[in-house]
């Protein structure tokens, strides 16, 4: 089988994502980031995986007053990844966004973020520490792309975020929600004729149960979308 390349955006836990998608021999990985100064390498990529990490700087969704709630915002990373999204949409590349990847895509689409979930009155969704994620249930929207991928209407996912979607961006719709009303997934509102786009707030690459359909099926469908787009 012809080798295909996934562009994975750079982050502190890059190796987690690299290992997760590299289980197939035909998958290659390209590390994309402003520190690598390699935006043009995206021309060699067949799909994009947007990773987790720092909060999106709130100036990108016109809420600079939220900066006091943000953790390690990196504007250069934001600018780089917004350019990655622009390219991916112009060239119909399949995109999987994880945690921050969901948030930056929502901002790219004109949406906004809640700067701190607990301050806004919701339950804590952040991880316990660097090695232990929080876990909670999630409900999946019927007839969504996500429901077709995971094959279930509810399940348990891991959680490691303190920000979340506020206003959903143009062209996107929610596909999953936690019991306390936090958006846990997004996808295209009208996907017909457009490239694969699936965004999840949890971390399928590091779920304890890698056989969960909320982990393995998401990876499988992303890889299938990449193959289909290049067939």
Exposed / middle / buried, residue 137 (Cβ in 10 Å: 0-12, 13-18, 19+): exposed
End-to-end CA distance of the chain: 11
Which is catalytic among the residues 45, 70, 99, 164? 99
Q: Do residues 138 and 200 lie in contact, with contact meaning Cβ atoms separated by under 8 Å?
A: no
User: Does the active-site annotation cover 205?
Assistant: yes
Half-sphere exposure of 218 (CA within 13 A, CB side): 30
Residue 125 bears catalytic tag? no
Q: Do the beta carbons of residue 34 and residue 12 sit within 8 Å? A: no
CB 97 within 8 A of CB 223: no
Across 96-127, b (16+ Cβ under 10 Å) vs e yields bbbbbbbbbbbbbbebbbbbbbeeeeeeebbb
Candidate list 81, 184, 187, 205, residue with the active-site label: 205
Cα–Cα nearest to 163, from 126, 117, 108? 117
SS3 164: strand
Residues involved in catalysis? 99, 203, 205
């Amino acid at each position: 089988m012809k080798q295909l390349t996934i562009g994975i955006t750079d982050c502190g836990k890059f190796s987690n994502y690299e290992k997760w998608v590299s289980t197939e021999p035909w998958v290659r990985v390209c590390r994309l980031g402003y520190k690598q100064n390699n935006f043009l390498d995206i021309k060699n990529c067949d799909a994009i995986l947007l990773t987790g990490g720092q909060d999106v700087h709130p100036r990108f969704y016109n809420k600079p007053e939220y900066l006091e709630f943000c953790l390690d915002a990196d504007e250069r990373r934001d600018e780089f990844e917004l350019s990655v999204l622009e390219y991916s949409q112009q060239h119909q590349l399949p995109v999987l966004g994880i945690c921050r990847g969901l948030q930056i895509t929502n901002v790219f689409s004109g949406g906004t973020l809640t700067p701190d979930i607990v301050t806004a009155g919701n339950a804590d969704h952040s991880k316990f520490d660097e090695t232990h994620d929080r876990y909670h249930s999630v409900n999946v929207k019927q007839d969504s792309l996500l429901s077709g991928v995971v094959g279930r209407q509810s399940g348990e996912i891991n959680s490691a975020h303190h920000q979340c979607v506020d206003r959903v961006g143009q062209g996107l719709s929610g596909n999953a929600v936690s019991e306390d009303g936090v958006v846990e997934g997004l996808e295209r509102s009208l996907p017909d004729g457009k490239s694969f786009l699936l965004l999840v707030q949890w971390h399928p690459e590091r779920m304890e149960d890698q056989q969960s359909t909320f982990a393995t099926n998401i990876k499988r469908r992303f890889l299938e979308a990449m193959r289909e787009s290049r067939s």
